[in-house]
């Protein structure tokens, strides 16, 4: 697709340079050519219009491909973020179990009271840190989901734009 785009652009630039040189010198002479003899020029002008339309279509397809590539990258990041969130929630659950165990030990008046209180406080602090991490990671996942939805809508619009260009 890019190869076609580059070839078309090179053709158009070459044609543009050639026509600029030709047009400046021979506009007055060409206007004297009878209409019946201008058909080949009209065909060439039509071909040029087609080539320009093809270049525009190729550019739109490149934009679409870039958007799809970006959507895939967002999808990968979204999946990684959800995986990270699952790991955080797993660690938080483990810490919650440890806190419950320590609280049960304290209620049963087992072990040193001071050590029990410090251990419970330590594990609760870690549990709160994991809660904070889970909130931030979940927020990131939600924002990535919104970005993916927005980009998906742009992709649909771009595909419609390409279909309309093909019809012309």
In the chain, the N- to C-terminal Cα span, in Å, equals: 20
Answer whether 64's CB lies under 8 Å from 163's CB.
no
CATH top-level class of 2-167:
mainly alpha
- Which 3 state secondary structure label does DSSP give 32? coil
CA 101 to chain CA centroid, nearest Å: 47
What are the boundaries of each domain within the chain? Answer: 2-167
Helices (H), the chain: 2-30, 39-107, 113-167
pLDDT at site 16: 65
Q: Tell me the pLDDT of the chain (168 aa) as tens digits.
A: 566 655 665 666 666 655 555 555 566 777 777 777 778 888 888 888 899 988 999 999 999 999 999 999 999 999 999 999 999 999 999 999 999 999 999 999 999 999 999 999 999 999 999 999 999 999 999 999 999 999 999 999 999 998 888 776
């Amino acid at each position: 697709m890019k190869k076609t785009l580059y070839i078309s652009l090179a053709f158009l630039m070459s044609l543009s340079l050639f026509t600029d040189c030709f047009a400046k010198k021979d506009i007055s002479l060409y206007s004297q050519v009878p209409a019946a003899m201008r058909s080949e020029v009209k065909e060439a002008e039509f071909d040029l219009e087609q080539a320009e339309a093809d270049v525009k279509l190729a550019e739109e397809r490149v934009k679409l491909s870039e958007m799809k590539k970006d959507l895939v990258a967002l999808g990968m990041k979204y999946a990684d973020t959800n995986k990270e969130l699952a790991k955080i929630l797993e660690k938080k659950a483990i810490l919650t179990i440890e806190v419950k165990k320590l609280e049960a030990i304290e209620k049963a008046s087992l072990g040193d009271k001071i050590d029990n209180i410090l251990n419970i406080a330590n594990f609760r602090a870690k549990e709160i840190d994991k809660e904070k991490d889970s909130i931030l990671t979940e927020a990131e996942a939600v924002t990535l989901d919104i970005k993916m939805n927005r980009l998906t809508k742009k992709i649909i619009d771009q595909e419609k734009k390409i279909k309309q260009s093909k019809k012309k």
